[in-house]
Amino acid sequence: MTAPLFQCQQVGMRFGSRCVLSSVSLSVQAGDVLGVVGPNGAGKTTLFEILSGRLRPTQGQVFLRGQDITALPLHARARLGVARTYQSPVVPELLTVGEVFKAARQAYRPFLTAHDAEWAARQVGLKVPSDRPAAALGTLDRRRLLLACLLMRKPSVLLMDEPAAGLINAEVDAIDAILRFAAQEMGMAILLVEHRLELLAALAHRVVVLDAGELIAQGRPDTVFDDPRVRAAYFETQTS
């Protein structure tokens, strides 16, 4: 069996006496989409902080292509091909779209060209003038801009935290298309935290469910979402 492109093994996180994650293991192959779901406070954000390198776990390990990267910080993982987006699409509001692309192209070596940025903008469907202030972009175009800045570096792993947040249904379709391109055409391994389960059901090859810091279920979306433990922990706690 082929070794996973990206994985964590027995990852745990404590803040003092409080256990936020307990022995979580998961893996994802190149070209696959792994959904991560759970109620608020389940540990999803903490897991992404650990996977991206912003936090170091109190136990367990993180691997990329079989290499132990547990001790590497966020910027070192980014250079190795681990990219991340956040729930809120925050952009540098004092810069124009073109200046944001330039900053991303020159963030670290090898520097990329304007053609790389143009290619990435086309792939995500970003069609705005380069002199438009980033602050003037709507939510979808902000997400497109941030994703284009990541995609032009051609990362191997993409960690996405609620990319559909704040979008209407027609805009969610655009995110769906971008993620399909990233996984199927670029071969990225994608880990996706998302509350819009219809997006996960359409995209994810597998889903893992966290509850109170523990992984309680994993498998195909249709099977996992019908699991009584998942329904009790997740669906029955939702108020919207």
State which fold the 1-81+156-240 domain adopts.
Rossmann fold (3.40.50)
How large a percentage of the chain has pLDDT more than 90? 90
User: Which candidate, 75, 56, 62, 73, places its Cα nearest to that of 15?
Assistant: 56
CA of residue 71 relative to chain centroid, distance: 20
SS3 of residue 165 by DSSP? coil
Domain(s) labelled CATH 3.40.50.300 in the chain stretch across 1-81+156-240
Question: Does the reported pTM lie above 0.85?
Answer: yes
Helices (H) and strands (E) counted in the chain, each on its own, are 9, 10
Per-residue pLDDT of 128-184, as tens digits, reads 999 999 999 999 999 999 999 999 999 999 999 999 999 999 999 999 999 999 999
CA distance 103 to 214: 39
Q: Are 12 and 30 in contact (CB under 8 A)?
A: no
| Partner residues linked to 21 by β-bridges | 13
Bridge partners (DSSP) listed for residue 206 = 34
